[in-house]
Each structure stands twice: as structure tokens, then as C-alpha cells.
Structure 1
Amino acid sequence: MPPAEASTGTGTSHPPHSAGGTEDTLDLRLPEELSALFGEGVAALPPMPRDAPDGDLLDALAGWGPVTTSVGVFQLVPVRIERDLPLISRWMNDPAVAAFWELAGPEAVTAAHLRPQLDGDGRSVPCLGVLGGTPMSYWEIYRADLDPLARHYPSRPHDTGIHLLVGGVADRGRGVGTTLLRAVSDLVLDHRPRCGRVIAEPDLRNTPSVSAFLSAGFRLSAEVDLPDKRAALLVRERALRDLL
């Protein structure tokens, strides 16, 4: 699965058993809610689960808005498959990305990965990362506590996970991934007050990914054996966000 961009920058791992899948997950429902992006229209979300009184398992991610970073203005933009599939599929076919995400092939392969998230209950939201107005990365923000990953570590309610791949070669190897990982984990903590920790689980062999997370304020909590890889369990805690 993916490397999170650090010095080589391809992405963080997204194992097949994890957030993008629909099998083997809890049966939760989301409430109806409208979310708008740049005034481009609204999208109805399903009905509200009991643990999300605000009506959204990820606290209205579509409305989090842009953030200014040292590399430019950055925003998470929820994926629209009809608009974004060709670009994401092209990134998935980059050999450096494919080595970890394992989604190389025709657009249908990437579509089959995206649709369960887009058609699901909102526990995983695939996004484009837009930097300075240009899409340059792919992200998945997901509820780690509602994911099969939770069986492999002592999860806490509202733990939120991150997967990342940096698509543009020009944005790899110069610290952009580290900067954006810190910015996105800050966004999670700022907009999800019930979330005390941001979680990542890159392949342990993916040294650039692990390094990027550590440089972004995550700490190595454990090594865990997942169905498809041995992973580094990396955690950024709200209580330590200003210290690391």
C-alpha cells in the first residue's frame, strides 16, 4: 500500500482491509445533510448515526476550508468521481505509488476503490489535496475506530486515520508531504473536537512514509501485523500537538 511522501513522497498506506472497503465494518447510518464546495452545488449525505449528533461521522469535512501552509494555501476537496477519476487513476499507475497502493490498471480499478467510500456511510472520505489551486495529492480521511484496523490496536472513540499519496513528482522529495501531513492532522484536530488522536499505518518498509509522519509530529506507537503488511502504527495526539 502507499508511501506517505517524505523524501520520495508517494503516499500513506491504504490496505485493502481498511477504510475504503465496505465488508467487515459496523452497520452505522448517517443523517441527511448538505455539503457545498466552492459553491459548486450540494451533495446529500445519508442519515445520522448515534455517535454523530452533528450528522456526520467526520464532522462535515467538506466545509473545513483552506489553510495557509509554508508551501502555499491548501485545501481538502472531497472527490467527485466523474471529475477526478482520470487524475487519481493516473497517479495510481505511477510505479512509485502502485508499489504500495496496488491500484495500477485501468480507471475501473481506481473507481472500484473509490465507490465504496463515496457510496458508504461517510466513515471514509476520499479527497483531492489542492495546493495553490492545483490538485497535487490524494487523501483518505477515515474513522479508524470504525475500521477493521481497530481490531489491531487499542482504539479510542473518534480516532481518525489518514492515508496520503503525493501525485506530482515535482512535489516529492522536498518536504511537501511532511508539511501537508501536519496541516491535515491539525485540520482534523481543529474540526473534530471529539477526536483525541490522528492515526496512520504505513507499511513499515516504507521508510520515507514513516519519516514524513514522524517529522510531522506523529510518534511511533507500535509495529502491528495487518492482513496484508507489517505496519508502523503512528499517532499524533491532541495533547502533544504543540510539543512535537
Structure 2
Amino acid sequence: MITWRRLVEADFPLVGEWLAQPHVARWWNHETSPEAVARDFGPAARGEEASEDLLVLLDGRPIGLVQRCRFADFPEYEAELAAAGVDVPDGAMSVDYLIGVPGLTGRGLGAELIRAIVAATWADHPASTAVVVPVHTANRPSWRALEKAGLHRVAEASLEPDNPIDDRAHYVYRIDRPIGTRIGTASDPAES
């Protein structure tokens, strides 16, 4: 069973190990030193920024990471998508994800994780309207996992890549909140 919890500073060495794995490093292109991991993941772990870094567990064992955020909290990210002609509805959120354990890739866990985090997003963030995820066109495992999880390709966009070796070609995937589920208000306590 896939579950998750907030990332804490004690998890940083494990995250650093995952970021150094070739299958993760290719797409995340992240510094892996303890200082860099603390610098980049510390603010969310301490609740100092609006994004959520979630440690993913499979049957209680850490296997990956999900980052979840509201576009409204990162206007530059939303503006880049808008400039590329991508519709980002009010209340939209985004996720980024990785399976850090090499032996667990290619088994459908990515799609299972994405399905679970999207379903939880509707409950955790009652004002969320959609989940919008840009992914580099060359990252086939990632965009196939999004498709298997029920997201739909809605655009192709020229966006800044995470890895400077890549061109700007991205696919943008989206799933909207199911009809009949609650949409909160800006004053909803769950959204503060």
C-alpha cells in the first residue's frame, strides 16, 4: 500500500541518495550534497514555504518523493505556462514525483502513486480545481505514468527544462476535479 507523510530533515540523507540515482538525476538534475538537499528541501520541511514535500512509503518502506504545490503560490511558474499558451485554471495545483529505489521503477508504482496523490489532493485542498503537470517530452516513463494515472495531455509547450542538456519541449498533462466533489473558498481553513 502506498502512503506518504511530510518530509522531515532526518529524511534528507535518503533524498540525497535518491537524487544521485542515475534514473532520478537525469530528470531532476539536482545537487546531492547534504548542504544542497537541506537548502532546497529544508524550507518546505520546516513549513516555511507553501509547497509540500512528501516522503512516499510502500508498505511502510520509503521509496520516493512527491512535491505538491498550488500554482498561485508560485506565480512565476504559472506565468511561464501562461506565456506558453497553457491554460492554468484558478485553484490549479501541480505535482512532481520520483521513485528513488531503482529496483522499483518500471512496475507501475509511479502511476499508482500519481493516482493516489491526485485523489488526496481533492480532499487535502478543497479549493483545488485541477492538477496540471508539465513533463519533458523525452521523459517517456513520466508522461506514460501520468497517462496511466488518468491525466490527459492538453498542450505542448516550450518551457525551461530542469536539466540544461534538454531542449524546451514539454507536454502538459491535466486532470480536473471530479464533478460533485467540493470546491472550497479562499477562506477555507484547509487552504490556509
User: Which TM-score bucket, shorter chain as reference?
Assistant: 0.7 to 0.9
Secondary structure at 2:66 match in 1: strand
Match of 1:6 in 2: none
1:80 to 4, 8, 15: 8
Shift of 1:116: 3.8
Is the helix fraction higher in 1 or 2? 2
Aligned residues: 168
Distance in 1, Cα, partners of 2:154 & 2:117: 20
Q: Deviations over 1:40-91 (max 9, x none)?
A: xxxxxxxxxxxxxxxxxxxxxxxxxxxxxxxx2x22211111x101100000
TM-score normalised by L of structure 1: 0.64
Identical amino acids, percent of aligned pairs: 23
Alignment of 1:1-244 (within 5 A): 72=1, 74-81=2-9, 83-118=10-45, 121-147=48-74, 148-151=76-79, 152-153=81-82, 154-228=87-161, 229-239=168-178
Contact 1:92 1:110 in 2 (8 A): no
Distance in 2, Cα, partners of 1:198 & 1:93: 28
TM-score normalised by L of structure 2: 0.80
Runs of 4+ in 1 over 4 A off after TM superposition: none
Secondary structure at 1:201 match in 2: strand
- Structure 1: runs of 5 or more not aligned: 1-71
Secondary structure at 2:178 match in 1: helix
- Structure 2: runs of 5 or more not aligned: 162-167, 181-192
- Greater shift, 177-186 or 102-111, is seen at 102-111
Distance in 2, Cα, partners of 1:220 & 1:80: 33
Contact 2:6 2:45 in 1 (8 A): no
Match of 1:67 in 2: none
Distance in 2, Cα, partners of 1:77 & 1:215: 24
Distance in 1, Cα, partners of 2:113 & 2:47: 26
Q: Deviations over 1:148-190 (max 9, x none)?
A: 2211133222211110000112221111111111011011012
